[in-house]
Chains A and B, each alone.
Chain A
């Protein structure tokens, strides 16, 4: 087809320009790839930590079993709650002996068990947010036999702040570097259009269709974007291998992310070249 032949001819005419623009697009998208890799791994790490988000409700001594049972059923009614676990005074003591052996003897020696019984409330994934936690804590505290309800509020808040910062940084950096890539393609296309201005003039003179005049440039832009995307994926994968071999064990981003990246490269290339030649074809 004409468009393919012309795009190939453009590459033959100016291979350095084409390679350079694809390379620069590749580098810009590589930064996006690194940010994705970092975000993805941050997300995995945060999810692992989030699993440990739970609420511990301490029960006063001498609370009747029927009251505790009622509390357990009522708290399970919350959709956000996935699981509850009753820790008796004995359980608490055993745990203390195991976790804090230096005090073990002390606990055994004393006549009375000083540890209160407690209920551990686990939340469903996706519901481990500060809002949900606050809601459940408030509900628990409304029972008179509840001594206290704790959940390490500070680190839960920090965890979510971290998550938001990670997402915002990646989005901003991704958008900025995707823009850089688009500008590079646009500039390269403007040079290509300029180099072919005489042909374009004659095409319009003799009555070539607009789409026909545009198609080789659109194809060139799309190819530059796609090539840049592939290059960036390769570089990102290389970095991933490097980091996981020599530094720390990180996870590779999901394949769908790579797919989205390549599609975005293709799309950016096409759109920015369309904008670049639209300007030129407006005049003449």
Chain B
């Protein structure tokens, strides 16, 4: 990644696009601080990659929810258990977990099959569970790395609707995709294009800066 200066604002909806290998996933890992930049700085709500210690990275991770093309749910556990796990390991009081996990699943439109193992769910259903898990800590931004890559058109548009719902509640959404047709269907969103690790275009030049 070179010369990328990007700022995602609170409550924004943006697509991150570009060819394979252009650096979309890398950008997301940098924001989540699962990768550290070799030079330059990442800033998430005041936490700077220059100053934050390994010990404190969890603070950034709770501000940044993340979902992936391949869902990355824990196999052998139910939908509810997957969401409950995220709540448990981030210190939610044990008694509050079941109700909160059910609420999160209801929020993403996943209510009836909470006790089904994730292996038994469809791709669209799994992605909803993954989104519910990403929302567990009420992050400020949701990063979605090609979340619809494994889904059909029907499921894709349902997930996009869900993202807009989430965004309407004030959360920023940054979604990586190389599906230009899909981007075309959402003219209200900001579009950021990367090519070979460089920022080549941004529909929202006015508000560029460093994220």
Chain A interface residues (CB < 8 Å from chain B): 2, 198-199, 201-210, 212-213, 284
Interface segment out of the listed B15-23, B59-67, B199-207? B59-67
A interface footprint on B86-129 (CB within 8 Å = 1, 0 otherwise)? 10111100000000000000000000000000000000000000
A210 touches B58 (CB 8 A): yes
B85 touches A210 (CB 8 A): no
10 closest A-B pairs by CB = A207-B61, A207-B62, A208-B89, A207-B58, A206-B86, A203-B89, A209-B58, A207-B90, A198-B74, A208-B90
B61 touches A210 (CB 8 A): no
Residue on A nearest B139 in the bound complex, by CB: A207
Contact of A201 among B58, B62, B72 (CB under 8 A): B72
A116: min CB distance to chain B, Å: 80
Within 8 Å CB of A284, what residues of B? 34
Contact of B85 among A199, A207, A209, A213 (CB under 8 A): A199
How many Å lie between the Cα of A203 and that of B62 in the bound state?
Answer: 11
B75 interface residue per 8 A CB criterion: yes
Where chain A touches its partner, the secondary structure class is: helix
B66 touches A207 (CB 8 A): no
Interchain residue pairs with CB less than 8 A apart (15): A199-B85, A202-B72, A202-B74, A202-B85, A204-B34, A205-B34, A206-B89, A206-B134, A206-B136, A207-B59, A207-B90, A209-B55, A209-B58, A212-B91, A213-B89
How many Å lie between the Cα of A70 and that of B88 in the bound state?
Answer: 85
B34 touches A206 (CB 8 A): no
A207: min CB distance to chain B, Å: 3
Within 8 Å CB of B72, what residues of A? 201-202, 205
Interface residues of B in 152-169 (CB under 8 A from A): none
Residue on A nearest B94 in the bound complex, by CB: A2
How many Å lie between the Cα of A199 and that of B75 in the bound state?
Answer: 10
Interface bracket on B? 20 to 34
B133 interface residue per 8 A CB criterion: yes
Within 8 Å CB of B57, what residues of A? 207, 210
Within 8 Å CB of A198, what residues of B? 74-75
How many Å lie between the Cα of A205 and that of B73 in the bound state?
Answer: 11
Contact of A210 among B54, B75, B137 (CB under 8 A): B54
Within 8 Å CB of B89, what residues of A? 2, 202-203, 206, 208, 212-213
B55 touches A210 (CB 8 A): yes
B61 touches A205 (CB 8 A): yes
B74 touches A206 (CB 8 A): no
B40: min CB distance to chain A, Å: 22
A208 touches B58 (CB 8 A): yes
How many Å lie between the Cα of A213 and that of B57 in the bound state?
Answer: 13
B63: min CB distance to chain A, Å: 8
Given contacts A205-B61, A207-B137, 14 further A-B pairs with CB under 8 A are: A198-B74, A198-B75, A199-B85, A201-B72, A202-B86, A202-B89, A204-B34, A205-B34, A206-B134, A207-B57, A207-B60, A208-B90, A209-B58, A210-B55
Within 8 Å CB of B55, what residues of A? 209-210
How many Å lie between the Cα of A28 and that of B163 in the bound state?
Answer: 57
Residue on B nearest A2 in the bound complex, by CB: B88
A205 touches B85 (CB 8 A): no
B195: min CB distance to chain A, Å: 28
How many Å lie between the Cα of A77 and that of B55 in the bound state?
Answer: 64
How many Å lie between the Cα of A201 and that of B71 in the bound state?
Answer: 13
How many Å lie between the Cα of A208 and that of B59 in the bound state?
Answer: 9
B33: min CB distance to chain A, Å: 10
A132: min CB distance to chain B, Å: 56
How many Å lie between the Cα of A207 and that of B85 in the bound state?
Answer: 12
Within 8 Å CB of A210, what residues of B? 54-55, 57-58
B26: min CB distance to chain A, Å: 15
Within 8 Å CB of B61, what residues of A? 204-207
